[in-house]
Amino acid sequence: MALAGINWFKYSSPASFYPLAGKMMPWFAGLATVLTVVGLYMSFFVAPTDYKQGEAYRIMFIHVPAAWMSMFIYVVMAVYAALGLIFNTRLSAMMASSLAPTGAMFTFLALWTGALWGKPMWGTWWVWDARLTSELILLFLYIGFMSLEAAIDDPRRATRASGLLAIVGVVNVPIIYFSVQWWNTLHQGASISLDKAPSMATIMLVTMLVMTLAFWMYTIAIVLYRVRCEILERERHSEWVTELMEERK
């Protein structure tokens, strides 16, 4: 109920969001640290060896959360880009820019860990399979978004162009997700689904979810930190930033 009393629109202003992000960031960073320690302990000391894949399946505790985060971050980035284009809110564009590097990192990790799992299990590092190829396209979309933004000097035009790319590219996310159903792929189907019981042991599932939560909290923390930099950079000529700099002396 107390949350309903907060004027959320106030926080769409960079000047109001900057201190709020600074207050929230340490909490998410702390949560990410605790969850990572718990997740790693479970990954190596609690989860048992898989009867089929042996110890190699432990790569899944990184691979699956990284793949989920790569798609989730892209969708959030596209939503912010759309909000920025529709409502012309400065903070939305800054959020989209701040999400892209972390999204690209998780996409790379999903591909990297997938290759390291694929070699011993499939006998190959890479196949031009629908799931793998669409995930690679996601990495190119992230790189394209960041490159486009960096290549255009006028910040407003850069935001518009990269925002459009983010929105168009979001069509790739359902393609990644459903690729294993739509096409005959080497990549296995989803281990976890909302309408089916999970096809893995509970302890393995819990470990995977703890690692996902850890990655999620990490993403929020690093994006809040980065968006504070974006805000300062883009609002450097505004009065409140000048005052902030005066206060810091």
Partner 1 sequence: MGGYGGYVWGSYIVTALLIAAEIIWVIQRRKVLLKRLARMSRLTKG
d(CA 17, CA 2): 19
Residue 184: CB minimum distance to partner 1, A: 26
Instruction: State whether residue 14 is helix, strand or coil.
Output: helix
DSSP lists the bridge partners of residue 193 as: 196
**Binding of residue 116 to partner 1 (CB under 8 A):** yes
The whole-angstrom separation of Cα 32 and Cα 34 is 6
The three-class DSSP label of residue 125 is: coil
Distance of CA 95 to the CA centre of its chain: 12
Q: From the CB of 105, what's the least distance to partner 1, in Å?
A: 5
Q: Answer yes or no whether residue 245 interacts with partner 1 by CB under 8 A.
A: yes
Cβ 40 vs Cβ 91: under 8 Å: no
Site membership for partner 1, residue 229 (CB under 8 A):
yes
Q: Is 50 helix (H, G, I), strand (E, B) or coil?
A: strand
Report the C-alpha gap between 91 and 80 in whole angstroms: 9
Q: Per-residue contact track with partner 1, 72 to 91, x per CB under 8 A?
A: --------------------
Q: Which segments of 88-192 does DSSP mark as H helices, in order?
A: 90-122, 130-151, 155-169, 172-182
Which CB atom, from 80 or from 215, has the smaller least distance to partner 1? 215
Q: Which one among 81, 91, 95, 105 touches partner 1, defined by CB under 8 A?
A: 105
CA 124 to chain centre: 27
Residue 152 binds to partner 1 (criterion: CB under 8 A): no
Of 121, 142, 131, which Cα lies nearest the Cα of 187? Answer: 131
| 168 contacts partner 1 (rule: CB under 8 A) | no
**CB of 52 vs partner 1, minimal distance in Å:** 12
Rule CB under 8 A: is residue 22 a binding residue for partner 1? Answer: no
State the binding string over 42-61 for partner 1 (x if CB under 8 A, else -).
-------x----xxx-xx--
Based on CB atoms, which residue is closest to partner 1, 45 or 87?
45
Regarding 124 and contact with partner 1 (CB under 8 A), the answer is no
Q: Residue 234 interacts with partner 1 (CB under 8 A)?
A: no
Contact 73, 152 (CB under 8 A): no
Least distance in angstroms from the C-beta of 118 to partner 1: 9
Which residue ranges make up the site for partner 1 (CB under 8 A)? 49, 54-56, 58-59, 62-63, 66, 101-102, 105, 108-109, 112-113, 116-117, 119-120, 218, 222, 225-226, 228-229, 232-233, 236, 241-242, 245-246, 248-249
